[in-house]
Amino acid sequence: MLMLVDCSNCRTPLQLPAGARSIRCAICQAITRVADPRSLPPPLPHQQSHATPSTYNYHAPPSPYNHLPSFGQTPSVNGKKRAVICGISYKKTKHELKGCINDAKCMKYLLINKFRFPESSILMLTEEETDRYRTPTKHNIRMAMHWLIQGCEPGDSLVFHFSGHGSQQRNYTGDEIDGFDETLCPLDFETQGMIVDDEINATIVKPMPHGVRLHAIVDACHSGTMLDLPFLCRMDGSGRYVWEDHSPPSGIFKGTNGGEVISFSGCDDDQTSADTASLSKVTSTGAMTFSFIQAIERGHGTTYGDMLTSMRTTIRQTDVGGSSGGGGAVTSLLGMLLTGGSLGIGGLRQEPQLTASEPFDVYTKRFSL
């Protein structure tokens, strides 16, 4: 039987054999010592593990979301749809954000009413949820990511949305061009640690089978390559673009098992919002979700290139919180998101990014969730 323990240095999940008192991390080589294995989480079913710098092993225990509908119970004409939406406000902490739960609500509304996602197949993780498995803790986000890809088949469409804090930490394996891993900050990140891009890639990117499509919308600082996808669309102000190969120098494979993964993110890896730690502003998170939904509502989301251009244009505008035209409930929700506080958008130094498991023509490939 194997048990799960986080590396004491880089927080990588490691599988500790029953009875073992220490384990060396294959990612950063640090040794993690466990005084009493009985204090660890419940044992996992035995699975072969070869944790090397070219593999990232995280095996979740049985999902607490098994009571939710399976793919087979949510049929649609073009395949089945499932989404995980995380919105974290870090309420009553020095990291508090104001717009993230609104982001989550807006995204859920969009998926249900625009893209016909069954409400029963959308898993919401916010601090407003009363179910203990639906608070956005590190453990629950991990479990939700595993639930997202369980049983997926060709034709299925998956969405992962995160609105909250993002960060970076030093990479020791040589698989990051800039030397830093990108990380998501769950609600309990100060005690339980962050979720590293290596784990996100291993959980919802690498297993993606042929014919399945995943879209990630990551609304956080340092989020440009949060899924560790191998290709980044580098677009200039005129709309010209090239696909940069971000395959790790170490040679670690970061692609899929035949499926397609595309990610929109709030900013480049080296960009931050000066207001993300403020108690009264959430410009980067609110602005990105707003621009994503507005592009779709205004009909600017025909292709991926149109989406990216529209999002960047919206964020550069100084009157984003004003009337967006067209009315409707989504517009009203977005108005609440950006006008409910001191949310000046002007002067933002962030540019939404597009990354993918494979390059494509962004101006001919049609966007759809």
pLDDT in tens, 83-129: 999 999 998 888 888 888 888 999 999 999 999 999 999 999 999 99
Q: Which fold does the domain 71-273 belong to in CATH?
A: Rossmann fold (3.40.50)
Q: Tell me which of 146, 161, 165, 222 is the catalytic residue.
A: 165
Q: CA of 36: how far to CAs of 1, 5, 120, 135, 259, in Å?
A: 16, 12, 40, 28, 41
Domain-by-domain residue ranges, the chain?
Answer: 2-39, 71-273
**Ranges of the chain whose pLDDT falls below 50:** 1-2, 37-60, 71-77, 272-285, 318-347
* Residue 180: per-residue pLDDT: 76
* Residue 170: per-residue pLDDT: 74
* Residue 220: per-residue pLDDT: 86
Closest by CA to 110, choosing from 296, 308, 237, is 296
Other Cβ atoms within 10 Å of 92 Cβ, number? 7
86 counts as catalytic: no
Q: CA of 199: how far to CAs of 205, 227, 248, 342, in Å?
A: 9, 9, 15, 35
* Residue 318: per-residue pLDDT: 42
Q: Tell me which of 25, 106, 221, 233 is the catalytic residue.
A: 221
Which two three-digit tokens encode residue 174? 């040589």
Percent over 90 (pLDDT), the chain = 40
Strand, helix or coil for residue 32: strand
* Residue 65: per-residue pLDDT: 65
* Residue 288: per-residue pLDDT: 81
* Residue 12: per-residue pLDDT: 60
165 counts as catalytic: yes
Other Cβ atoms within 10 Å of 69 Cβ, number? 13
* Residue 316: per-residue pLDDT: 78
Closest by CA to 329, choosing from 286, 297, 364, is 297
Compute the distance between CA of residue 195 and CA of residue 218 in angstroms, rounded to an integer. Answer: 13
